[in-house]
């Protein structure tokens, strides 16, 4: 009895297998579609966002620029007009609106340089940082305080009053030295002057350094291009 | 009686073999991100032989020079190791089923010599074709199909299409 | 998650060992499915044995369905898999030459290797032929180069070139393949049996 049932079942086995295959393939068609979450997980993003390590101070940045740190890549996320008026030496202009475009990716998505994002304050650069971090770009930093703070601390440092601690004086002399490096003439307090010099230095260094920096990170596909056979 | 004895090939059900092969392809893609292959190892062997015979020639040739690398042997390659595995695996399977033995398999209507000549000629054609299409039935067609590669599908259709077209001219060799 | 080696979940040093293991399974399956027998392979062209077609398409469909499910569930990222590049005329002409070679020699490289392992002399000759073919190609490479490098369309998939939904395509392919299996069984019953 059982045997006969088994024989009957076995005679249908190909049809059953075919049905299973069609059901599986049909299941693919009927699967509910959802947008895949791209980039890093929300938890990861949160922990990156609240980490203070994503900021770099103006003093630190000035120090690295003066020491000609080769791993530095400055990205100005303000619009083009502001960039033309004034920017940090050898900065690359990628306006916030264009930050996700393909051209920008070669600058932002790479692992050779520390990318420093800056804007007038750190509002827009923070936004840019968040956008880029979400799609898992590495080595991104935000210049704390942006260009405004850069002006107030490096280009035009405030002279400490006499009753301040001694390290304030040290800091002041460091900043003063830095600002001299960036072309501020002391003791003349000229507001416009750094702009002109900066422009010159931008033009000079950006042409010299920036082309070198366009080294897009290799895509994750590291497989040899040779396929199967 | 002789036919009966020759016909002792008890093979797997083709659907079962196909199912396992499909699982293997998934596994291969899951682990390595690429498909299976076979003729790549033969290419590596040819490059190695040519390189040994005349290193200068291999350096100068536009094709060999792609694969000749001074600090790395062309034999030190994923596909070569995979092919070694193919030989081992097929030997194990053949040994378990008792199919091992030196013999030439041919239709009773043709001579052994003719079979060998055609096998050689077919091999030459396959070698040239596999290089032009950058892969053979396993590398281009099968692994290509698994990831829906357009090139893989075209290669597959071209192989089977022409084989059917030309099957008539070679019928004496097989039936 | 996957693929594991390109995502560095398994270190690169393991790849040779994994290659041998994968190859062993590949060879075992090929041999056990009867792909070491050239007359069984050639049977697909004369209608007395459709094992090649059945194994080939079952494998393609199983792997397609499996990979798409794994992609859907997030175990493997389809977009990071190696996609065989499409050189339109290279694929057509190369495939055509391979087709003639297939029906003349009765082997393709993978199957001839598995036949070499069990001592088929015609397979050994075939492998030597393939190597000679590769040698001829390399020597005449300037002649073949326009085809070899021309008509490059990138590492595209059918989704790019036909603009179809992959799931529907796989479903239709599955149905076509099953119908094809049924038809081949009918053909085989009508064709004279060939013992090999």
| The pLDDT of residue A212 is above 60 | no
**DSSP assignment, residue A72?**
E
Chains that touch A (3 or more CB pairs under 8 A): B, C
How many A×B Cβ pairs under 8 Å? 46
Q: Closest by alpha carbon to A66, among A132, A192, A154? A: A154
| B36 in reach of chain A (CB within 8 A) | yes
| A29 in reach of chain C (CB within 8 A) | yes
Question: Which are the contacts of C149, defined by CB distance < 8 A and separation ≥ 6?
Answer: C87
Predicted confidence band at A38 (pLDDT cuts at 50, 70, 90)?
A: low
| The pLDDT of residue A199 is above 70 | no
| SS3 of residue B149 by DSSP | strand
Chains that touch C (3 or more CB pairs under 8 A): A, B
| Token digits of residue C50 | 């459709």
Question: Which are the contacts of A7, defined by CB distance < 8 A and separation ≥ 6?
Answer: none
Among B26, B31, B40, most A C-beta atoms within 10 A, so best to mutate, is B40
Does the beta-carbon distance from B18 to C54 stay under 8 Å?
yes
Angle between helices C51-73 and A13-30 (to 10 degrees): 30
- Distance, in Å, from the CA atom of B121 to the CA atom of B127, rounded to the nearest integer, reads 10
Question: Which are the contacts of C135, defined by CB distance < 8 A and separation ≥ 6?
Answer: B46, B50, B127
pLDDT (tens digit, 9 = 90+) per residue, A149-168?
Answer: 888 887 777 777 777 777 78
Would you state the pLDDT for residue C24? Answer: 92
Q: Which residues of C touch A14 (CB under 8 A)?
A: 181
Determine whether C73 is exposed, middle or buried from the number of CB atoms within 10 Å of its CB (0-12, 13-18, 19+).
exposed
CB B94 within 8 A of CB C117: yes
Q: Which residues of C touch B138 (CB under 8 A)?
A: 26, 108-110
**DSSP assignment, residue A117?**
E
CB A197 within 8 A of CB A183: yes
Does the beta-carbon distance from A228 to B130 stay under 8 Å?
no
| Token digits of residue B35 | 């498909």
- Distance, in Å, from the CA atom of B33 to the CA atom of C82, rounded to the nearest integer, reads 6
Report the DSSP beta bridge partners of residue C64.
Answer: none
pLDDT (tens digit, 9 = 90+) per residue, B26-54?
Answer: 998 888 888 888 888 888 888 888 888 88
CA geometry: angle at B146 spanning C169 and C152, to 5°?
A: 90
| The pLDDT of residue A34 is above 80 | no
Angle between helices C88-105 and C38-46 (to 10 degrees): 110
CB B171 within 8 A of CB C181: no
**DSSP assignment, residue A36?**
P
- Distance, in Å, from the CA atom of A34 to the CA atom of A70, rounded to the nearest integer, reads 43
User: In chain A, what percentage of residues exceed pLDDT 90?
Assistant: 0
How many A×C Cβ pairs under 8 Å? 49
Q: Look up tokens 């032929």; give the residue.
A: C129
Q: Which residues of A touch B34 (CB under 8 A)?
A: 223, 227-228
pLDDT (tens digit, 9 = 90+) per residue, A71-118?
Answer: 888 888 888 888 888 887 778 888 888 877 777 777 777 777 788 888
Give the mean pLDDT of A121-127: 82
| The pLDDT of residue C152 is above 80 | yes
> In angstroms, what is the C-alpha Rg of chain A?
28
pLDDT, mean over chain A = 73
Query: Where along chain A do its domains lie?
Result: 55-150+200-208
Q: Closest by alpha carbon to C52, among C17, C3, C99? A: C99
C-alpha distances (whole Å) from A140 to each of A90, A133, C59, C117 are: 17, 7, 45, 55
pTM of the entire predicted model: 0.73
C-alpha distances (whole Å) from A14 to each of A100, A169, A173, B89, C58 are: 52, 88, 86, 28, 13
Q: Which residues of A touch B39 (CB under 8 A)?
A: 229
Predicted confidence band at A203 (pLDDT cuts at 50, 70, 90)?
A: very low
Would you state the pLDDT for residue C21? Answer: 92
CB A147 within 8 A of CB A83: no
Expressed in angstroms, the distance from the first to the final Cα of chain C is 46
- Distance, in Å, from the CA atom of A2 to the CA atom of C48, rounded to the nearest integer, reads 35
CA A133 to chain centre: 7
| The pLDDT of residue B20 is above 90 | yes
Does the beta-carbon distance from A229 to B40 stay under 8 Å?
yes
Q: Which residues of C touch B104 (CB under 8 A)?
A: 120-122
| The pLDDT of residue B78 is above 90 | no
Question: Which are the contacts of A77, defined by CB distance < 8 A and separation ≥ 6?
Answer: A94, A95, A96, A99, A117, A118, A119, A124, A125, A128
| A192 in reach of chain C (CB within 8 A) | no
Instruction: Please list the alpha-helical segments (H only) found in C74-163.
Output: 88-105, 109-117, 121-139, 141-149, 158-162
| SS3 of residue A140 by DSSP | strand
Chain C residue with minimal CA distance to B175?
C194
Give the mean pLDDT of A170-176: 81
Restricting to C residues 3-42, those with a Cβ less than 8 Å away from any Cβ of B are: 3-6, 10, 15-34, 36-40, 42
Please tell me the distance in Å from C175's CA to the nearest CA on chain B: 15
Would you state the pLDDT for residue A225? Answer: 42
Would you state the pLDDT for residue A205? Answer: 41
User: In chain A, what percentage of residues exceed pLDDT 70?
Assistant: 76
| SS3 of residue A56 by DSSP | strand
CB B143 within 8 A of CB B25: yes
pLDDT, mean over chain C = 86
Q: Which residues of B touch C23 (CB under 8 A)?
A: 81-89
CB B149 within 8 A of CB C86: yes
Would you state the pLDDT for residue A195? Answer: 43
CB B75 within 8 A of CB B46: no
Q: Which residues of B touch A229 (CB under 8 A)?
A: 37-40, 43, 79, 130, 134-136, 138-140
Chain B residue with minimal CA distance to A14?
B15
C-alpha distances (whole Å) from C140 to each of A11, B132, C93 are: 55, 12, 16
Facing residue for B34 by CB, picked from A14, A17, A223: A223
Restricting to C residues 140-169, those with a Cβ less than 8 Å away from any Cβ of B are: 141-142, 144-145, 147-148, 153, 155-161, 166, 169
**Residue C186 CB coordination number (10 Å):** 8
Percent helix, strand and coil across chain C, each rounded to 5? 70, 5, 25
Chain C residue with minimal CA distance to B7?
C196
The domain made up of A55-150+200-208 is a member of CATH 1.20.1630.10:
no
Q: Closest by alpha carbon to C60, among C169, C143, C192, C188? A: C169
| B134 in reach of chain A (CB within 8 A) | yes
């Amino acid at each position: 009895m059982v045997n006969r049932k088994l024989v009957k079942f076995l005679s249908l086995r190909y049809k059953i297998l075919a049905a299973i295959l069609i059901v599986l393939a049909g299941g693919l068609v009927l699967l509910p579609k959802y947008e895949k979450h791209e980039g890093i997980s929300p938890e990861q993003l949160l922990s990156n966002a609240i980490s203070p390590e994503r900021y770099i101070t103006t003093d630190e940045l000035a120090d690295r620029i003066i020491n000609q740190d080769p791993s530095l890549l400055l990205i100005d996320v303000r619009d083009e007009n502001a960039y033309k008026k004034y920017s940090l030496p050898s900065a690359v202009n990628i306006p916030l609106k264009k930050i996700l475009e393909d051209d920008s990716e070669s600058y932002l998505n790479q692992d050779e340089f520390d990318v420093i994002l800056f804007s007038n304050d750190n509002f827009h650069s923070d936004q840019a940082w968040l956008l880029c971090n979400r799609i898992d770009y590495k080595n991104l930093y935000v210049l704390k305080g942006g260009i405004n703070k850069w002006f107030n601390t490096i280009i035009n440092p405030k002279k400490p009053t006499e009753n301040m601690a001694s390290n304030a004086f040290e800091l002041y002399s460091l900043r003063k030295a830095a600002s001299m490096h960036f072309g501020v003439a002391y003791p003349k307090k000229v507001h416009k002057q750094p702009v002109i010099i900066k422009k010159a230095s931008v033009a000079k260094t950006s042409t010299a350094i920036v082309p070198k920096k366009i080294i897009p990170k290799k895509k994750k596909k590291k497989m040899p291009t040779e396929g199967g056979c | 009686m002789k036919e009966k004895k020759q016909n002792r090939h008890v093979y797997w059900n083709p659907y079962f073999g196909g199912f396992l092969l499909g699982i293997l392809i998934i596994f291969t893609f899951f682990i390595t991100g690429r498909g299976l292959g076979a003729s790549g190892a033969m290419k590596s062997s040819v490059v190695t032989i040519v390189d040994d015979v005349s290193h200068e020639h291999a350096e100068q040739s536009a094709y060999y020079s792609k694969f000749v690398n001074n600090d790395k042997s062309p034999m030190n390659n994923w596909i070569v190791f995979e092919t070694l595995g193919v030989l081992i695996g097929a030997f194990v399977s053949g040994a378990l089923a008792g199919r091992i033995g030196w013999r030439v398999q041919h239709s009773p209507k043709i001579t052994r010599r003719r079979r060998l000549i055609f096998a050689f000629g077919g091999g030459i054609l396959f070698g040239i074709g596999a290089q032009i299409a950058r892969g053979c039935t396993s590398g281009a067609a099968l692994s290509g199909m698994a990831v829906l590669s357009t090139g893989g599908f075209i290669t597959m259709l071209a192989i089977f299409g022409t084989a059917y077209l030309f099957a008539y001219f070679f019928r004496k060799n097989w039936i | 998650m996957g693929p594991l080696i390109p995502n560095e979940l398994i270190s690169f040093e393991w790849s040779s060992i994994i290659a041998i293991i994968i190859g062993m399974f590949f060879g075992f399956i090929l041999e056990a499915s009867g792909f070491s027998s050239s007359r069984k392979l050639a049977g697909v062209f004369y209608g007395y044995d459709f094992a090649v077609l059945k194994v080939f398409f079952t494998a393609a469909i199983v792997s397609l369905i499996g990979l798409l499910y794994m992609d859907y569930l997030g175990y493997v990222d389809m977009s990071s898999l190696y996609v065989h590049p499409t050189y339109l005329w290279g694929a057509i002409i190369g495939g055509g030459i391979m087709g003639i070679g297939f029906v003349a020699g009765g082997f393709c490289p993978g199957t001839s290797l598995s036949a070499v392992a069990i001592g088929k002399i015609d397979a050994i000759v075939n492998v030597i032929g393939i190597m000679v073919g590769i040698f001829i190609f390399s020597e005449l490479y300037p002649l073949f180069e326009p085809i070899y490098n021309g008509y490059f369309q990138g590492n595209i998939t059918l989704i790019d070139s036909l603009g179809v939904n992959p799931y529907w395509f796989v479903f239709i392919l599955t149905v076509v393949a099953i119908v094809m299996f049924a038809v081949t069984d009918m053909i085989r019953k009508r064709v004279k049996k060939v013992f090999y």
